[in-house]
Structure 1
Amino acid sequence: MNIFDIVGPVMVGPSSSHTAGAVKIGYTSRKLLGEPVQKAEILLYGSFLATGRGHGTDRAILAGLLGMLPDNPDIPRSFELAKKAGMEFTFGEAKLKNAHPNSVQLLLTGKNSRRLEIVGESLGGSLINIAQIDGLSANFSAEYPTLIVHNLDQPGHIAEVTSMLSHKSVNIASMQLYRSSRGGNAVMVIECDQEVPAESIKWLEHLEGIEKVTYYSLSGRKI
């Protein structure tokens, strides 16, 4: 057992799962969007829906979408700050099936019109899991630089991505592969030990058969 297990994370709010974890889901989702959030539809599920208001889950998720981390003292003011920033936001109920009880579905539109759908889970102790991106399984912790590649289920795409990472001296910590059906849509979720260069991400985006590339970076505390 380490000190984190005893005292928990550094945070603002009453709950490491309903508050700190909720902030991290919002923060991670904003980084994955890659631009400031212009519009957010925030759909709560399970315990997040039932008890979230009392724990400040709604304010916590919105604070993360504004770029705040769990120790930011402005988290309780997130509604006010979002309105000042011109962010449109609404809350509702997520219609998820067999999801973790502390889950939220985020439908995001960025200031440059980029769109992203996230299902995030708060696992306790401020640990999170990004369960889905744009309707496909993802399942990563946001503890590592993470490359998410949406592609057609065709031969060669895995080799293209892994060869690029090797050429850039980026070590793969873990790799998960999902597909909707044979020959349909597929996704690679690659957690890395080093940051992936921006030019390499742009190179991937222009390959034939690659539909979308999303990247979660650990560099910098502000986005």
Structure 2
Amino acid sequence: MAYDHHYAVFTSFIALALSACTLTLAMDALQDFCVADLKGSPTINGFACKDPKTVQASDFSFGGLHIPGNTSNAFGSKVTPAFVTQIPGLNTFGISMARVDYARGGINPPHTHPRATEILTVIKGTLEVGFVTSNPENRLVSKVLRKGDVFVFPIGLVHFQRNTGHRNAVAIAALSSQNPGVITVANAVFGSKPDIPTDVLAKAFQVDRSVVQKLQAKF
């Protein structure tokens, strides 16, 4: 019994120590910054660091979010990112931003960010926004936002925005990753290279193969 007690105490201590180490590694930075060396490829946790002696103020700034995006496209929207590729100083910090412009009736089509939660603030106009919960519920959570309103899109969930006002709209998004990624649902499903087999998509969407072929042709 004494052996069992000591073993239980020992294993509890080890578990606590490992938890503390994990928290330390996850939270404590070992340097002031790790400005991305964009000439190399991303590693498992971001880009390699530039030599700190070569870092400039320009590595931490970006001057593009005041410029309206060109919304003359099929969706009537334009995303202007301020990710690590635009601001190398964001590397490893787990944050980024984007500006989204919407023409009248424009949409930011259903998409996901596989590596980030997004919080969106309406700067101008009126937007209908929403996300869909996971299977099997697949419940749409949506709301109409006006200037100054804020909405959160949980990480990995399919979400969208639509301009429901009578003029152009603008929003600023903040994301919990320096490289959040984006998967536009229609592009991924109907525009993959090579194509997802037509019969697979026909069965998945419960439509005729000719419908799938028409959709694939658009992408």
Sort the TM-score into its range (normalised by shorter chain): 0.3 to 0.5
User: Which one has a larger percent strand, Structure 1 or Structure 2?
Assistant: 1
TM-score (norm 2): 0.32
TM-score (normalizing by structure 1): 0.32
Which protein is bigger by CA-based radius of gyration?
Answer: 2
